[in-house]
Amino acid sequence: MRDQIVAGNWKMNKDLNQATALVEEIQSLMMNPVEADKVIVAPPYTYLAQTAAKAAEVPGLFVAGQNCHQEMSGAYTGEISATILKSLGVDYVILGHSERREYFGESNQLLALKVKAALGQDLIPIFCCGEPLSIREAGEQQKYVNQQLTESLFQLEADDLRRLVIAYEPIWAIGTGRTASAEQAQQMHASIRKHLASKYGAEVANHLPILYGGSCKPSNAKEIFAGEDVDGGLIGGASLNANDFIAIANSL
């Protein structure tokens, strides 16, 4: 069985007091068992140490960085390395998020270096992939996402690939008023798994959790997670509310 995972990306939200309150609410709600095998929160970098210390008190609760640099150290003002993340007690790191690709110009080739850097420090990458509206309208979504996977991941050995979590983001359905159906989510998750199997074999591909990174809420999570190849969600806005976030975790 693949791990069933819900990860909350807080992005650039919550000040220190708000972040502390949010993680304490999540802790409290997780005093009762949740359906997800793993619940992950990704706060801003400035709160990682405090959040990791609190997460260590709760079985099944883990912490992720929102990004990392491809180098271990150096003159990179404002950046954070996989080495630093690991020293803070972080277990996961989100790489290739659509916002990093769009706003900061991160390429597939750069992300290949970041994935290697993270794995070298025993961090688990949550590798994001997904297509914009123009690609979806052209019917080229599978080709586009396959290229992302090939250029960023196919340099890995099978044992390293097995350590990853994949997150599919239908960029065209995030904040656009359009909705990705559960069927569309399942189709793309199955396509991703098939492409990974073409390189690494079915056993490796079937081992990898693939999370849905669209507009997932308590009201639609159960339907989306019912897909055979959908193993949880990478949650944005709904992860900023503890009750909503844990409700999504309990939809698995």
Catalytically annotated residues: 97, 169
Separation of alpha carbons 231 and 219, rounded Å: 17
Separation of alpha carbons 41 and 44, rounded Å: 10
Rounded to whole angstroms, what are the CA distances from 67 to 39, 103, 139, 168, 232?
18, 13, 30, 16, 20
Please list the residues that pair with 233 across neighbouring strands: 6, 212
Residue 160: Cβ within 10 Å count: 15
Separation of alpha carbons 38 and 230, rounded Å: 15
Stretch (H or E) spanning 111: helix 108-120
